[in-house]
Amino acid sequence: MSHESDAFVFFGATGDLAHKKIFPSLHALVRRGVLDVPVIGVAKAGWGLDELKQRAHDSIAEHDDAFRHLLSLLRYVDGDYEDPETFAALKRELGGARRPLHYLAIPPSLFGTVVTALQAAGCADGARVVVEKPFGRDLASATRLNEVLHSVFPESAVFRIDHYLGKEPVENLAYTRFANTFLEPLLRREHVHHVQITMAEAFGVQGRGRFYEEAGAIRDVVQNHLLQVLALTAMDPPAEHGEEAMRDEKVRFMRSLRPLTPRDVVRGQFVGYRDEAGVAEHSTVETFVAVRLHADSWRWAGVPFLIRAGKQMPVTATEVVVQFHEPPTRVFDRGTPNRLRFQIGPDLRISLDVRAKTPGEGMTGCDESLVLDERPHDEMEPYERLLGDALKGDQQLFAREDTVEAAWRVVDGILGDATPIHFYEPGSWGPAEADRLLPRGAQWLTPRLSGDQA
């Protein structure tokens, strides 16, 4: 589909996600002139349009002309998702709209109910649907969800949103790789010793203990965010231009990854997690996970990919580090190996760690960092970018059915209590047991924040 949507419908309009992310993003889209169609909120809250407008007022800090125009676009339907009259009312609010975009900011358990009701009410013809993560809890449930969506919408009309893919630094990772000739020949087994991806969060579950008990770190960030980042780091160059070519290479790489087994996983839980509201007294849910992955391909054969993610870490930062092999012979003193670093958060920073001569008479060296790009936090929020793309029908930054299922295949065997829990202190880098995943002579690399020296 290449047409632009002529209405925006968001289910779950009274929820927390709408308050924190959707309303501010819609405001930004109106300000940029991207959004100028009816915006219809749907929820079961006993509200009317005035209450929805007040919710938007409370959500958006700047009440400028764009805000006032957004209010003029707002409509509201209050009703139960299992009541056909709710969708009949939605059909009336849509009026002459023939290409609506339906955003399901609701639990996945309701997807089937809503999409079936949209079809029955005549609201699905020519429409697109955006669905929130988590997209399933395992491979089997993700496959069932895809079947439910495809019973009403073709794959070309399905947009699986992952806000991480809307981040400017994540997009820049792929751009930097394929826009620079010198990089691409280096990113292969002949030159790369291993790759590390760290996603560290200095905070805990922030009152979301009940949610985290259902998710855990593997489902929350590894299966989606971090496997997608790994794919952008390691996939082959697309054979042609276009959004499908990029997504084809992503899934090709994802399918080359061996499914994880318990020996490639270490799970951890920070001390104090069990005291959080909504957390079971003897919970074995992981708040930290480290995994070691291998790809069965000529490009990456024998190269370990190491991913770790955790809460209550020393810093909040996400970084990809490609560590190169050391020189084959030792001509001068040996220092830190060359490393290519892609910092994804909190700011964008791309740098190359190199060895340079120390000024003076002796032939000794020091470690230096060549900064290729460095910018502050992206001004455009991920939801603004992604919803704008969905309105235009651009699927490039959205996960395709086969990619989602390939990612679940990788982690399916290590979900739940497949491996034991190791406790770690808040403010540490997780349990020491994670060190056993490292290749010989390697160590976990601390994310380098902007301004840090080599």
CB burial of residue 362 (10 Å; 0-12, 13-18, 19+): exposed
**CB-based contact 117:90 (threshold 8 Å):** no
In terms of Cα–Cα distance, which of 68, 76, 79 is closest to 49?
76
Please calculate the CA angle 45-47-49 and round it to the nearest 5 degrees.
Answer: 140
Of the candidates 421, 430, 415, the one whose C-alpha atom is nearest the C-alpha of residue 286 is: 421
Distance between first and last Cα of the chain: 47
Question: Token pair of 78, please?
Answer: 């209050």
Look at residues 126, 120, 103 and name the one whose alpha carbon lies nearest to residue 9: 103
Query: Which residues have CB under 8 Å from 386's CB, separation 6+?
Result: 159, 161, 163, 165, 166, 397, 398
Q: Which residues contact 205 (CB under 8 A, 6 or more apart)?
A: 211, 212, 273, 276, 279, 287, 311
Report yes or no: 371 and 349 within 8 Å, Cβ to Cβ.
Answer: yes
- What is the rounded distance in angstroms from the CA atom of residue 157 to the CA atom of residue 414? 32
Pairing state between β 158-160 and 128-131: parallel
What is the C-alpha separation between 387 and 22, in angstroms, rounded? 9
Give residues with Cβ within 8 angstroms of 395, minimum separation 6: 156, 159, 243, 247, 389
Residue with tokens 């318990």: 262
Strand partners, 129: 102, 158
Q: Name the residues annotated as catalytic.
A: 225
- In angstroms, the Cα distances linking 192 to 156, 175, 185, 285 are 37, 20, 11, 33
Q: Strand 288-293 vs strand 305-310: parallel, antiparallel, or unpaired?
A: antiparallel
